Amino acid sequence: MVKKLQTVRSCTVVSPTNLALIKYWGKRDASKLNLPLNSSVSVTLDTNDLRTTTTAYLMDSKPEVDCDRLWVNGKEVSIGETPRTKIVMEEIRRASGETRTFYVVSVNSFPTAAGLASSAAGYAAMVFALAKLCGIDADARRTDLSRIARMGSGSASRSMFGGVVAWNMGVRPDGEDSLAEQICDVRHFREDELHAVICVASDTKKHVSSTSGMSTSVATSLLLKHRADTIVPARFEEMKTAVRAKDFDTIFTLTMRDSNQFHACCLDTYPPIFYMTDVSRAVVRLVEQLNEKPFAPRFAYTFDAGPNAVIFCRTGSDARELLEVLLEVFPPSAADVRSDGGFEFVRGRSRRSRAEARGEAVSGLQKSTISLDARRAHEGEISYFFHTGVGQGVRIVEEEGCALDLPSQV
Amino acid sequence: MVKKLQTVRSCTVVSPTNLALIKYWGKRDASKLNLPLNSSVSVTLDTNDLRTTTTAYLMDSKPEVDCDRLWVNGKEVSIGETPRTKIVMEEIRRASGETRTFYVVSVNSFPTAAGLASSAAGYAAMVFALAKLCGIDADARRTDLSRIARMGSGSASRSMFGGVVAWNMGVRPDGEDSLAEQICDVRHFREDELHAVICVASDTKKHVSSTSGMSTSVATSLLLKHRADTIVPARFEEMKTAVRAKDFDTIFTLTMRDSNQFHACCLDTYPPIFYMTDVSRAVVRLVEQLNEKPFAPRFAYTFDAGPNAVIFCRTGSDARELLEVLLEVFPPSAADVRSDGGFEFVRGRSRRSRAEARGEAVSGLQKSTISLDARRAHEGEISYFFHTGVGQGVRIVEEEGCALDLPSQV
């Protein structure tokens, strides 16, 4: 029997996911502190296109009752089985002095299993909402809150800020200097600048989780150690400088090379970890074909711990042109269209149903920049696309009707 | 008009290919000297199963006539367009004082394009045959000849010897100490020990050549530099010690890890080089499943500059068991069997036609060690297999009727 609690107050936030330009791979401390082997840099994505919405409730429980609860996408998640949730809640209590119970309800606008860093958005949202709920001036203390978000999921620290964000690995054993900082905010870019197209692969295989993959890589890859000790420190500075200068040649080249190096370290792990598949490689080859100049690229691919490609574009019109080519090479199959013609095949900023996407690919009306034999060569291999761009960090939403309700049975 | 020359004498050799346990990737000197970035170790394969046969002819030309000729698999190859052939011929002339014309005829017992190191076998054969033809005591001077074979193709230096062979990178700028040496000869292993199963993938894509791949890797991969400078020197010694001790745990583990690290460096190259495909990865996963203990493996996969897997086995019976599993997971497709039921699907030591292989896979008579859903999961993805083992280095064949004739029009 769960004791019925009353709500004291609530706080609702929307939180972005983020995509790393310099990858985080490997922990130097996998304990509660969750400290990385290297610094990383990421782009925060627009919550209009992909977001986690989280409402945190403060309940009228007695201090001694340990009965925090969490619901993600409508399903209760056991806090006992997600130790990092417990850690985050404890850290917020320590920082605020609050002792009452937390109920947290969270919903992703994108499929959790799609490999789109849902844990980054989720932990950033939870930390921000709980902090505000407990009277912490969350907006003013984003850097400090990035420390707590880091304990939930390393990359969550970076979703505290919008624009382009660095997570400094820090050197202290207690992790107090392992914090996110904003390199530039979203206004550093023009409205139509720095778009991203995410290609969600149809691949449904179970992948090695980041946590377990990192741990095996740290234990076995000699290349990862060299990467973290020697290569990333220089790249991290180079990337920050390039972002500040809006030097897209460097940002894009370094993004691709760092993604490749991260996957190289996965392959150097024993037993080896493969996240990229033949579909991923087909995207790489297509981007290379469109780029023409490898060191002055128009587009930059990057891959996280799965086969999904993310392709950064300098401008919105580049993104739209890229999408046309992608739809030609990776259209939905005829069978997929028949099974659900209304399925949103391109999401975010350039919506198309499967039927529309297939129609464009088949009609061949576009001024195609790709060779004929590449057209429809990878039909059905991409499940859907997102078209999005750079956005703001996690933030409170005060509008009426935005709060997520507690499940009715509570 | 080509001047008609008369044959003075000929010499015929058979030469093995070899498979690297510690990979050669990258040149520190890509000139005529062809010097590697790191030392490497290989197993010489049995010429009963895979071989290059080469007959070198000495012709009665005047010294000033530069008209050496070469035929590979029945087709003339222009020596002007294969500068390394010219280099090898010049080095043999320099070593022997011979000045007359060479005609060389060479045939591989395996498809040249299958990525089975045909250049290693081919250049070793050419060097050995020409040396003997010119009065050099080739058998006694294998180490010295490995220096010349190296100038043709780096890995050819290792085909000079049988058993397991090391190619010491050397330190001298003139390459005089970049030579092959035998770690152990073929009798170090029992007859039934150290077999290999080669999986030739159906993939027909054009791959980046080793020469151009190495050059891009040396120019762009920071991980390759670290590998060559720091990791391989230790691994090279560890592998030699393990081979001498027949410590299969170490030989096999190190073989897999070094193959993975070589492919990691290819991926860290910019633009990235991908040799392994989804088929390669399926073989890796199957070997992992059969191995159970990653650090005491029964089988060791390794991949060269293409998608083909080579799987080393401790014994012949392990190899036969592995082949049964491979035939279950990668059987020929029904359509392939119909198109040519007599096509040799398993070659070398355990011959089977496509029809026989398909029959075994479908009948499921084997005591299968793999899960049901893996059976026939990769039908048609492997073109054929070789079952072979460790063998002798390049050698003269004196038997009547072994010499390859010059093309009839010559």
- Nearest residue in chain B measured CA to CA from A272: B260
Determine whether the interchain pair B223/A261 forms a contact, defined as Cβ–Cβ distance below 8 Å: yes
What SS3 state is found at A193? Answer: strand
Tell me the pLDDT band of B365, cut-offs 50, 70 and 90: very low
**Short-list A213, A152, A178, CA closest to A36:** A178
Tell me the pLDDT band of B115, cut-offs 50, 70 and 90: low
Average pLDDT taken over every residue of chain B = 93
Residue A184's pLDDT is what? 98
Cβ contacts (< 8 Å) between B281 and chain A: which residues? 274, 277
B223, B284, B288: residue with CB nearest A264: B223
Determine whether the interchain pair A223/B261 forms a contact, defined as Cβ–Cβ distance below 8 Å: yes
> pTM score, two decimals?
0.94
Sign of torsion over alpha carbons A224, A38, A150, A110: negative
Among the residue ranges A321-330, B353-362, B393-402, the one predicted with the least confidence is B353-362
Each residue of B311-320: pLDDT tens digit? 999 999 999 9
Cβ contacts (< 8 Å) between A268 and chain B: which residues? 223, 257, 260-261, 264
Tell me how close the Cα of A90 comes to any Cα of chain B, in angstroms: 39
Residue B371 has pLDDT above 80, yes or no: no
Write the CB contacts of A373 (distance below 8 Å, at least 6 apart in sequence): none
Tell me how close the Cα of A268 comes to any Cα of chain B, in angstroms: 5
Count other Cβ atoms within 10 Å, centred on residue A248.
Answer: 21
Residue B65's pLDDT is what? 66
Residue B372's pLDDT is what? 57
Tokens of B164: 């397991």
Structural contact between residues B348 and B57, judged by C-beta atoms closer than 8 angstroms: no
Residue A302 has pLDDT above 60, yes or no: yes
Determine whether the interchain pair A272/B260 forms a contact, defined as Cβ–Cβ distance below 8 Å: yes
Residue B110 has pLDDT above 70, yes or no: yes
DSSP B47: T
Residue A216's pLDDT is what? 98
Count other Cβ atoms within 10 Å, centred on residue A156.
Answer: 34
Extended beta strands in B171-274, E state: 180-184, 193-201
Residue A315 has pLDDT above 60, yes or no: yes
Residue A367's pLDDT is what? 52
- Nearest residue in chain A measured CA to CA from B254: A270
Tell me how close the Cα of B274 comes to any Cα of chain A, in angstroms: 8
Structural contact between residues B19 and B66, judged by C-beta atoms closer than 8 angstroms: no
Determine whether the interchain pair B267/A267 forms a contact, defined as Cβ–Cβ distance below 8 Å: yes
| Burial label, A341 (beta-carbon count in 10 A; 0-12, 13-18, 19+) | middle
Tell me how close the Cα of A267 comes to any Cα of chain B, in angstroms: 6
Tell me the pLDDT band of A410, cut-offs 50, 70 and 90: confident
Separation between Cα atoms, residue A398 and residue B288, nearest integer Å: 53
Determine whether the interchain pair A294/B270 forms a contact, defined as Cβ–Cβ distance below 8 Å: yes
Best mutation target among A223, A253, A279 (most B Cβ atoms within 10 Å) is: A223
What is the helix (H) or strand (E) element at residue A329, kind and residue range?
helix A316-329
**Short-list B279, B384, B387, CA closest to B332:** B384
Residue A207's pLDDT is what? 80
Q: Let me know the angle formed at the C-alpha of A13 by A11 and A19, rounded to the nearest 5 degrees.
A: 155
Each residue of A73-100: pLDDT tens digit? 999 999 989 999 999 999 999 999 999 9
Write the CB contacts of B213 (distance below 8 Å, at least 6 apart in sequence): B25, B266, B269, B273, B305
Tell me how close the Cα of B283 comes to any Cα of chain A, in angstroms: 12
Determine whether the interchain pair B267/A264 forms a contact, defined as Cβ–Cβ distance below 8 Å: yes
Each residue of B222-241: pLDDT tens digit? 999 999 999 999 999 999 99
Residue A13 has pLDDT above 80, yes or no: yes
Determine whether the interchain pair B284/A272 forms a contact, defined as Cβ–Cβ distance below 8 Å: yes
Tell me how close the Cα of B279 comes to any Cα of chain A, in angstroms: 9
Cβ contacts (< 8 Å) between A223 and chain B: which residues? 223, 226-227, 231, 261, 264-265, 268
Cβ contacts (< 8 Å) between A207 and chain B: which residues? none
Structural contact between residues B138 and B132, judged by C-beta atoms closer than 8 angstroms: yes
Determine whether the interchain pair A230/B226 forms a contact, defined as Cβ–Cβ distance below 8 Å: yes
Each residue of B139-195: pLDDT tens digit? 999 999 999 999 999 999 999 999 999 999 999 999 999 999 999 999 999 989 999
Cβ contacts (< 8 Å) between A278 and chain B: which residues? 277-278
Best mutation target among B220, B261, B262, B381 (most A Cβ atoms within 10 Å) is: B261
A222, A260, A272: residue with CB nearest B270: A260
- Nearest residue in chain A measured CA to CA from B287: A271
Residue B368 has pLDDT above 60, yes or no: no
Structural contact between residues B85 and B152, judged by C-beta atoms closer than 8 angstroms: yes
Distances A381 to A157, A208, A359, A384 between C-alpha atoms, Å? 33, 21, 17, 9
Residue A368's pLDDT is what? 57
Provide the CA B73 distance to its chain's centre, in angstroms. 17
Residue B362's pLDDT is what? 66
Residue A373's pLDDT is what? 62
Residue A362's pLDDT is what? 66
Determine whether the interchain pair B223/A227 forms a contact, defined as Cβ–Cβ distance below 8 Å: yes
Residue A30 has pLDDT above 50, yes or no: yes
Each residue of B21-78: pLDDT tens digit? 999 999 999 999 999 999 999 999 999 999 999 999 999 987 666 789 999 999 999 9
Which residues from B are below 8 Å from A when comparing CB atoms? 220, 222-223, 226-227, 230-231, 253, 256-257, 260-261, 263-265, 267-272, 274, 277-278, 281, 284, 288, 294
Tell me how close the Cα of A257 comes to any Cα of chain B, in angstroms: 7
- Nearest residue in chain B measured CA to CA from A265: B264
Best mutation target among A22, A204, A257, A295 (most B Cβ atoms within 10 Å) is: A257
Backbone φ, ψ for residue B348 (5° rounding): 85, -125
Core vs surface per residue A49-75: b (16+ CB within 10 A) or e: bbbbbbbbbbbebeeeeeebbbbbeee
Best mutation target among A261, A265, A269, A295 (most B Cβ atoms within 10 Å) is: A261
Residue A199 has, within 13 A of its CA and on its CB side, a CA count of 37
Cβ contacts (< 8 Å) between B277 and chain A: which residues? 278, 281
Each residue of A244-288: pLDDT tens digit? 999 999 999 999 999 999 999 999 999 999 999 999 999 999 999
B231, B264, B284: residue with CB nearest A264: B264
**Short-list A306, A251, A356, A285, CA closest to A41:** A251
Residue B211's pLDDT is what? 92
Cβ contacts (< 8 Å) between A231 and chain B: which residues? 222-223
Count other Cβ atoms within 10 Å, centred on residue B28.
Answer: 18
- Nearest residue in chain B measured CA to CA from A261: B268
Tell me how close the Cα of A54 comes to any Cα of chain B, in angstroms: 39
Each residue of B243-270: pLDDT tens digit? 999 999 999 999 999 999 999 999 999 9
Determine whether the interchain pair B231/A222 forms a contact, defined as Cβ–Cβ distance below 8 Å: yes
Determine whether the interchain pair A223/B223 forms a contact, defined as Cβ–Cβ distance below 8 Å: yes
Determine whether the interchain pair A288/B294 forms a contact, defined as Cβ–Cβ distance below 8 Å: no
Cβ contacts (< 8 Å) between B268 and chain A: which residues? 223, 257, 260-261, 264
- Nearest residue in chain B measured CA to CA from A203: B278
Separation between Cα atoms, residue A310 and residue A84, nearest integer Å: 27
Separation between Cα atoms, residue A364 and residue A351, nearest integer Å: 19
